[in-house]
Amino acid sequence: MTALPAKTRVKAERFTAYDMSRWSGKAGVGCMVALLMGCAGMGSENPSFDVSVSEAREALREMEAEPGELERPVLVLAGLFDPGVASWNLARQLRNLTGDERIVSVAFPLAWNFDACRDRAIAAVEDAFPSEDARWTTEVDVVGISMGGLVARYAAMEPADQDEPARRLRIARLFTIGTPHQGAALAAAPTLDPRQRAMRKDSDFLKELNDRYEDIGYQLYPYVRLGDRMVGVENAAPPGEVPWWVPARFLQPDHLTASVDPRIVADIARRLRGESPFTTEPREPLP
């Protein structure tokens, strides 16, 4: 359910994760955002994600100065209302941080249900990195922004309603940012969009995903920013798990700009580069 503000379209080539984090908008708009989106947890500290914004920015600068090659291709999947701006920007950032062009972003306008989203994601991987295996795509790491994390999980599952075997997304690692693994708080609002209805806490879609979670066969790394009231921080990891969380940013909408949070981007980039991440186990409980 992620869509970046229209301002991100301006001079998009110059935007980086740590550039975007400086944006706050006009004071009046910022105050309204703070009231609507919440600033809960701004003073909280997470010992299992022990990095400040300034330290993360410095880490990003160091990675850009010395790019590290990827172990495998990366697929970046957009959120519900993102026409491709957030996913494109994050993919471009990861290319700069790794020096590797094998990074593809996918958005889902006009893909009106999760079946269509799944097919689009798989087709994008197949087009960029063709596989000779009729059952699986080429193995990829995936970064899912909000709804994109659910698309990845669904695309990796064996379809239960098809007579003929269908190609599935072969995932090595899945990184999710503000993904409603247990439903999105705002998905309960009236809508004609089947994807939004599927992200309600009591949906059959989420029940199927989570009932089959133990058999996924890949690693899942969930991230969230405190104050995310669109999804709900407690929903940002599969049942029985806790997401790696970072404190909210003052005057920033905590869901809509989570994919450009320098702490989250730096941690994902370090993992993609095969370097020691900032996040550690066991994960700190939500405050």
Q: What is the CATH number of the domain that holds 105?
A: 3.40.50.1820
Question: pLDDT tens-digit profile of 107-160?
Answer: 999 999 999 999 999 999 999 999 999 999 999 999 999 999 999 999 999 987
Cis amide bond preceding 282, omega within 30: yes
**In the block, which residue shows the tokens 């009046």?**
28
Identify whether 1 is part of a domain: no
Is beta strand 103-106 parallel, antiparallel or unpaired with respect to 140-145?
Answer: unpaired
What's the structural domain count of the chain? 1
Identify whether 12 is part of a domain: no
Identify whether 86 is part of a domain: yes
Identify whether 174 is part of a domain: yes
Domain that holds residue 92: 24-65+72-272
Question: pLDDT tens-digit profile of 63-116?
Answer: 999 999 899 999 999 999 999 999 999 999 999 999 999 999 999 999 999 999
Do 118 and 154 meet the contact criterion of CB atoms below 8 Å apart?
Answer: yes
CA angle 99, 145, 280 (to 5 degrees): 75
Do 47 and 78 meet the contact criterion of CB atoms below 8 Å apart?
Answer: no
Identify whether 256 is part of a domain: yes
What DSSP element (H or E) covers 182? Answer: none
Identify whether 203 is part of a domain: yes
Identify whether 59 is part of a domain: yes
pTM, to two decimals: 0.85
Percent of the chain with pLDDT over 90: 79
